[in-house]
């Protein structure tokens, strides 16, 4: 026989239930006497409403209100009464200690929610967040799986349950997540504080003679220099994503003067050539070479000498700022559209960041997609 632990009792300050017996129908639940009344009124008396057909002569929806939760027969908990399954408190277990799923505010013992991890599952998974497993005695939390926070051993538990120092990690090779397979609020809990996270780390680099390290531009507290991808000013972190640059404590010198970029004039319209040089001169070092006239299929403007290909290098970090600069000066340059990185902006549209430009179809190559 299984029992649910009695956890609620009528307070001495309330009028006894027997005083109302003239108005309420008496009921009996497994030997525990009570009175039939609306569940909300029962809870107001600090009673325990029990569903299950004990109030035959009372209005529909009334339940047997008892001073404490009666012991329950297995057949009672396994009954096919759907309303009973929805309304009657369910048994639960908090780290091996038996209890009942009720609201945390109504628990007179210890309410334990669990952490929702494989090692510490929710104690009442089908109930709202404020319904927890209520036990008479405090359960003993399992140690949790072991972890390491920058060299300090600990266990993975919820940050709110950690009585020491909870460390999540940064998700980088130098400072990885401490509990990578758990929810974000589960961290490595240690008795002592781990050392601080490593500073801007990464491999060493050189920005025009100034030593530094390759980190994300947003994480650099000094000067982030990408380089121009030219022989005179090479990429500072060539094998990293575009937003990873050489971060230095002191500012590197300006980029060396690049060899002048020539725009081929054969069959290229004069106002297009003039606009091209304005772009190149306003963005020194960002353009390696330029193309204009050429035989192309479809509706290309190149056979008409009305389009420029400003070559910055494949996936160059110079491409996006160059494209946005041309967009911002499209009126004076008489530009019809700008394409960079498989995205297009057309004149007449509102000025906006490159990330919000219209996405184009995949044309199958770096050059064809204007990378």
Give pLDDT tens digits for 264-285. 999 999 999 999 999 998 998 8
pLDDT of residue 327: 95
Is residue 297 within 8 Å of 368, Cβ to Cβ?
no
* CA gap 106, 102 in Å, rounded: 7
Q: CA distances (Å), 146 to each of 112, 116, 155, 278, in order?
A: 22, 17, 4, 61
Strand pairing class (244-248; 26-29): unpaired
* Closest residue by Cα to residue 219 from 240, 235, 239, 233: 240
Burial class for 218, CB neighbours closer than 10 Å (0-12, 13-18, 19+):
exposed
Percentage of the chain with pLDDT > 90?
25
Handedness of CA 24, 26, 28, 33 (dihedral sign): positive
* CA gap 197, 149 in Å, rounded: 10
Q: CA distances (Å), 295 to each of 275, 303, 307, in order?
A: 21, 5, 12
pLDDT of residue 294: 87
pTM of the predicted model as reported, rounded to 2 decimal places? 0.36
Q: So where are the chain's domains?
A: 17-88, 146-190, 204-248, 270-359
Cβ count near 66 (within 10 Å)? 26
Buried-state track 247-280, b at ≥16 Cβ within 10 A, e below 16:
bbeeebeebeebeebebeeeebbeebbebbeebb
What's the average model confidence in pLDDT over 330-344? 92
- How high is the mean pLDDT of the chain? 79
* CA gap 32, 6 in Å, rounded: 11
The pLDDT-based confidence of 13 (bands split at 50, 70, 90) is very low
Q: Each residue of 178-237: pLDDT tens digit?
A: 988 887 888 898 989 988 766 555 688 999 999 988 888 887 888 999 887 777 788 888
pLDDT of residue 290: 93
* Closest residue by Cα to residue 291 from 314, 318, 271, 264: 264
Is residue 247 within 8 Å of 200, Cβ to Cβ?
yes
DSSP string over 202-218: SSEEEETTEEEEEEEGG
Task: Say which residues have a Cβ less than 8 Å from residue 190's Cβ, sequence separation at least 6.
Answer: 149, 152, 153, 154, 164, 165, 167
């Amino acid at each position: 026989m299984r029992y649910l632990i009695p956890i609620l009792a009528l307070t001495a300050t309330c009028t006894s239930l027997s005083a109302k017996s003239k108005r309420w129908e008496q009921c009996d639940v497994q030997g525990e006497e009570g009175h039939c009344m609306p569940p909300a009124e029962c809870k107001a008396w600090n009673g325990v409403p029990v569903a299950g057909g004990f109030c035959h002569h009372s209005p529909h929806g009334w339940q047997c209100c008892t001073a404490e939760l009666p012991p329950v027969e297995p057949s009672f908990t396994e009954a096919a009464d759907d309303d009973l399954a929805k309304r009657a408190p369910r048994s639960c277990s908090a780290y091996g200690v038996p209890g009942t799923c009720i609201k945390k505010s109504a628990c007179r013992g210890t309410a334990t929610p669990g952490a929702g991890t494989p090692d510490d599952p929710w104690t009442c998974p089908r109930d709202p967040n404020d319904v927890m497993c209520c036990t008479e005695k405090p359960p003993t939390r399992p140690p949790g799986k072991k972890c390491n926070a920058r060299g300090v051993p600990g266990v993975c538990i919820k940050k709110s349950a950690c009585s020491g120092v909870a460390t999540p990690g940064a998700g980088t090779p130098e400072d990885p997540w401490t509990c990578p397979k758990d929810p974000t609020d589960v961290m490595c809990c240690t008795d002592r504080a781990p050392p601080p996270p490593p500073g801007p780390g990464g491999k060493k680099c050189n920005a025009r003679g100034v030593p530094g390290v390759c980190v994300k531009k947003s994480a650099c507290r000094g000067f982030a220099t990408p380089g121009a991808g030219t022989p005179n000013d090479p990429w500072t972190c060539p094998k990293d994503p575009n937003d990873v640059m050489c971060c230095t404590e002191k500012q590197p010198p300006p980029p060396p003067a690049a060899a002048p970029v020539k725009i081929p004039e054969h069959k290229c319209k004069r106002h297009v050539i003039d606009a091209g040089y304005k772009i190149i001169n306003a963005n020194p070092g960002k353009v390696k070479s330029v193309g204009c006239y050429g035989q192309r299929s479809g509706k290309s403007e190149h056979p008409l000498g009305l389009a420029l290909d400003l070559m910055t290098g494949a996936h160059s970090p110079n491409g996006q700022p160059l494209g946005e600069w041309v967009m911002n000066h499209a009126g004076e340059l008489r530009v019809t559209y700008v394409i960079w990185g498989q995205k297009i902006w057309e004149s007449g549209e509102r000025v906006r960041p490159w990330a919000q430009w219209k996405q184009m179809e995949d044309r199958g190559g770096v050059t064809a997609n204007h990378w």
